[in-house]
Amino acid sequence: MFTLPPCPKCATQFTYPDDNRLLSPDCALEWPAQPDTPTAESEGVSVRDAVGNALQDGDSGVLVKDLKVKGSSTTLKMGTKVKSIRIVAGDHEVDCRLDGGSFLRKAAFLRKA
């Protein structure tokens, strides 16, 4: 069973998730949730962009082709700037935040900016 950590301020056990942060209903404290996914760096994986540049956490990038968002009619256009990427392990190596939300993308569709 999945358990959430207690609030660091008031120590209540009744915390709940909201997007990528946790909230306490008692003291209204918000703090970032720690992801359960292992990072690519912890597994010793080198992630490269579409032209072969090494990507790291916090880098910026640009989409190199139009990408359809699965389950939506939204399309991410070529040339869209992606800021503060996070490298994660798995099939989709890049976790990024765009106007439409948070997405996992393959590094082959990004060019380091």
Q: What is the pTM of this model?
A: 0.59
| Count of domains forming the chain | 2
**pLDDT of res. 45:** 64
Quick one: 102 and 67 in the same domain?
yes
Handedness of CA 33, 31, 72, 48 (dihedral sign): negative
For the record, the structure tokens of 19 come out as 């997007």
Q: Kindly report the CATH number assigned to the domain that includes residue 94.
A: 2.30.30.40
**pLDDT of res. 2:** 61
Q: Residue 21: give the domain boundaries.
A: 10-36
**pLDDT of res. 41:** 53
Would you place residue 1 in the very low, low, confident or very high pLDDT band (cuts 50, 70, 90)? very low
In angstroms and rounded to an integer, the radius of gyration of the C-alpha atoms of the chain is 17
Asked, for residue 56, whether it belongs to a domain, the answer is: no
Asked, for residue 3, whether it belongs to a domain, the answer is: no
Asked, for residue 54, whether it belongs to a domain, the answer is: no
pLDDT tens digit sequence for 34-93? 755 555 555 566 889 999 999 988 899 999 999 998 888 888 899 999 988 988 877 888
Quick one: 67 and 26 in the same domain?
no
Beta bridge partners of 63: 110
Asked, for residue 43, whether it belongs to a domain, the answer is: no
